[in-house]
Chain A
Amino acid sequence: MNKKFLTTGFIAAVATAGVLASVAYAADGITVVSWGGAYQKAQHDTIFGPYTAKTGTAVKEEEYNGEVAKIRAMVESGTVSWDVISVDTQTALQGCDEGVLETIDYSKVIDKAKVLPGAALDCAIGSDVYATVFAYDTAKLKDGPASIKDLFDLQKFPGKRGLQKNPFVNLEWALIADGVDPNKVYDELATPAGVDRAFKKLDTIKKDVVWWEAGAQPPQLLADGEVVMSSAWNGRIANAIKEGKTFKIVWDGEAPDLDMWAIPKGTPNLDKSYEYLAFASSAEVQSALAPHIPYGPTNLDAVALVDPELAKTLPTHPDNLKAAIPLNPQFWGDNGEELRARFNTWLAQ
């Protein structure tokens, strides 16, 4: 019996040490938090490394899955140990409204006119354009799905589908599969009847969905044969293809969105954080990301610097945007809360 208590005690001690260690942070460098996986590796190679080389400021990297709670906990308790964080647009808007993000002084970063329209928000600046798409394995499905309708068609493509555990994109796709024009999805979703319609459509595939949370999961689910097709962030699939996987991206109904840099309110390294934002927003740095992971730049000068062949694989390429859902972060900033609540209840029922 003693052994058992020793084990339990040991586990508790290790857990406590882990918590204490995460509180401590590098005082001389800055801590940048991003989404991990292939994406963060690309950022490491094209942004963090060159930034340290140029300025001498060390970058301490951390990963998260978009949990705003951690930012809020730091801001409220006055112990902000994250200096720059990568957030999605909804979080940027919400964090700004709730006062947990620093209002950006653009004079210290970049001329707003050089930034993609909609990417220079009050509290965050776009770092790249990614998209939620869906993909399948051509080795397992010869005659694969080609449209959002196929994603919802269990007769034509039986088997499990991977979808993100988040109403964003799923509700839009449900409406598109139900016949709504991609440009009208947000008009439809703004009405209670439209929301009901989306959930009703999702009900038809609910039993056959595997829900993912981390961006690295969909390529894994596809490779394991756990799902026949899965929604995913386009870069994660592209990088899996680069590693030899036989995946194919379906661009129909792609949902482009921005990754953004934001600064939590109260960071002790505000000047260095601005220096980092300015560096990361420059045209050269922005155009260097795409060869590592196919996400488009937000600096308009950087667009011209991207190789035209490579540009075809970016979410921002006109061919890929043909049947895209229009970017509408404001809708999700305003309605995300209740839609997520309903979605989570729907999931667990």
Chain B
Amino acid sequence: MSVTTYSEDRSTLKARLRRAERMQRLRALGLVLPLFLFILVVFVTPIAILLTRAVDNPEIADNLPLTTTALKDWDGKDLPGEAVYAAFAEDLKAAQKSKATGLLGKRLNYELPGTRSKMLQAGRTAEKMTAGPFKDAFLKLDPLWGKLETWQVIERASHRTTSFYLLKALDRQWSPTGGIEQVAPDQRLFVDVFVRTLGISVGVTLATLILGFPLAYVLATLPPRHSNLMMILVLLPFWTSLLVRTTAWVVVLQTEGPVNDLLLWLGVTNEPLPLIFSRFGTIVAMTHIQLPFTLLPIYSVMKTISPNYVRAARSLGAGPFSAFWQIYFPQTMPGIAAGCLLTFILCLGYYITPALVGGPTDQMISYFVALYTNRELNWGQASALGAILLAATLILYAVYNKLVGIDKMKLG
């Protein structure tokens, strides 16, 4: 009897405990939920929408619906027949009314430069066409409409999704025979820019590590009175707006700026050095801005390292260098790993600093994303560049995880 009571008690106790735990979990979830929703709404969804833009291809299918259908039966080996041209004329009439010819021309212009104005001209002509034969009319209008390539491009662009932008972001395109080829040399750009973006990011990360590590060490070992003051000196610029700091570098590095004046006065150089609008200026300014991001994780890890280890090593006969290198340095690795990753990934997306301090050959991939978004209105291309950058970052992160191990990283 007493045994059963005990087990009943235990089961109700268990149930009560579960209930209490569930309440606690719900409460915790309730606290996290706003952040989760916030990230979902303002971060994940827009990125997902943008990424779909990289393959989204509605222009032709939406505005040349009859042509799209008519081209389905076309073998793609010879010029299409009268039916396709008739459908094309009908579509253009409608497009002219809805002012979509400009959009059509713009889309085809990406793949066939020079098509835009001919599309507009065709739109204006099609408005007046009443009876066939349409094929002859178009062939007479412009040789463009009598080229096999034109129709191959229209056929390819009439699908709802396209790999055009992604291929272009890697300086590749579909060849007329159906394979993938490199674009013409005077159009090759993005592979170089991706390599440049990685190169600048690696350079800046290394520079912040070389400058930041000794400083972090000094900060971590000085008595608090001095280290606090030095910490303020590190954090003060960190709290200043990125734009202000970048503009300050413009002032410092400009041709008639203080650095050049000093170098001239010292006689180091006879004429001002091109410090600004150069790769050098870009890396210097970015290093300055990123330094705290590398330094702070290293510093906070160093703070937790007990001086006893090095003392023990020294008392066991290790020299100062090997005590540092074999005992102290390995313990700072989690901080170095975290700081470097943080800086590297932030560098990949830099836009303002290279735009203001760099020259045209120092622009990183974000510059081209902005260019295609704001100026060229080619959001497909901008999204494709973003998608490739995102993919490259994730791959690098995975490699880094394999080499260093994310679980070993410490931010403090």
Q: Residues of A at under 8 Å CB distance from B?
A: 1, 3-4, 7, 16, 66-70, 72, 94, 96-99, 160, 165, 210-211, 224-226, 333-335, 337-338, 340-342, 344-349
Contact = CB atoms under 8 A, between A and B. Distances in A.
Nearest to A98: B102
Contacts of B105: 97
Nearest to A160: B255
A82 B12 CA distance: 66
B270 interface: no
Contact of B239 (A7, A165, A210, A334): A7
A225 B256 contact: yes
B235 interface: yes
Contacts of B42: 16
A338 B102 contact: no
19 contacts: A1-B411, A69-B374, A70-B374, A96-B99, A97-B120, A98-B106, A224-B254, A224-B255, A224-B256, A226-B254, A226-B255, A333-B117, A335-B116, A338-B114, A340-B375, A345-B188, A347-B360, A349-B189, A349-B192
Task: Pick the most buried of B99, B186, B239, B256: most chain A CB atoms within 10 A of its CB.
Answer: B99
Contacts of A98: 99, 102-103, 106
Nearest to A4: B296
Contacts of A68: 375, 377
A69 B375 contact: yes
A67 B101 contact: no
B238 A7 contact: yes
B104 to A, nearest CB: 10
B376 A341 contact: yes
B320 interface: no
Contacts of B361: 347-349
A335 B374 contact: no
Contacts of B412: 1
Contacts of B188: 345, 349
B363 interface: yes
A7 B255 CA distance: 34
Given A7-B238, A225-B255, A72 B360 contact: no
Interface in B355-381: 360-361, 363, 368, 371, 373-377, 379
Contacts of B239: 7
Contacts of B277: 210
A348 B367 CA distance: 11
B98 interface: yes
A347 B371 CA distance: 13
Nearest to A94: B102
Contacts of B223: none
A94 B186 CA distance: 25
A21 B192 CA distance: 38
B100 interface: yes
Interface residues of B, number: 45
A97 B99 contact: yes
Nearest to B183: A345
Nearest to A101: B99
Nearest to B411: A1
Given A68-B375, A72-B377, A345 B106 contact: no
A348 B296 contact: no
A70 B375 CA distance: 9
A334 B113 CA distance: 11
Closest 5 CB pairs of A and B: A97-B102, A99-B99, A334-B117, A98-B102, A338-B113
B248 to A, nearest CB: 14
Contacts of B393: none
Contact of A348 (B103, B189, B374): B189
Prevailing SS type, chain A contact patch: helix
Nearest to A339: B113
Contacts of B189: 344-345, 348-349
Interface of B: 42, 98-103, 105-106, 109, 113-114, 116-117, 120, 186-189, 192-193, 235, 238-239, 254-256, 276-277, 292, 296, 300, 360-361, 363, 368, 371, 373-377, 379, 411-412
B335 to A, nearest CB: 11
Contacts of A225: 255-256
B232 to A, nearest CB: 11
Contact of B360 (A69, A160, A342, A348): A348
B211 to A, nearest CB: 18
A338 B109 contact: yes
Nearest to B189: A345
B103 A99 contact: yes
Task: Pick the most buried of A211, A335, A348: most chain B CB atoms within 10 A of its CB.
Answer: A348
B111 to A, nearest CB: 11
A13 B333 CA distance: 33
Given A1-B411, A7-B238, A334-B116, 13 more contacts: A67-B375, A96-B102, A98-B106, A226-B254, A226-B276, A338-B113, A342-B186, A344-B368, A345-B188, A348-B189, A348-B363, A349-B188, A349-B361
B238 to A, nearest CB: 7
A15 to B, nearest CB: 11
Contacts of B98: 99
A98 B99 CA distance: 6
B102 A344 contact: no
Given A99-B103, A345-B189, A67 B374 contact: yes
A210 B235 CA distance: 33
A97 B101 contact: yes
A226 B300 CA distance: 42
Contacts of B300: 1
Contacts of A341: 113, 187, 376
Contacts of B192: 348-349
Task: Pick the most buried of B120, B188, B255: most chain A CB atoms within 10 A of its CB.
Answer: B255
Contacts of A67: 374-375
B173 to A, nearest CB: 14
Contacts of A97: 99, 101-102, 105, 120
A179 to B, nearest CB: 23
Contact of B371 (A66, A72, A338, A344): A344
A70 B120 CA distance: 24
Given A67-B375, A224-B256, A348 B99 contact: no
A165 B376 CA distance: 13
Given A98-B102, A342-B186, A345-B186, A337 B256 contact: no
Contacts of B102: 94, 96-99
A345 B184 CA distance: 12
A98 B109 CA distance: 13
A223 to B, nearest CB: 10
A66 B100 CA distance: 22
Given A98-B99, A224-B254, A337 B193 contact: no
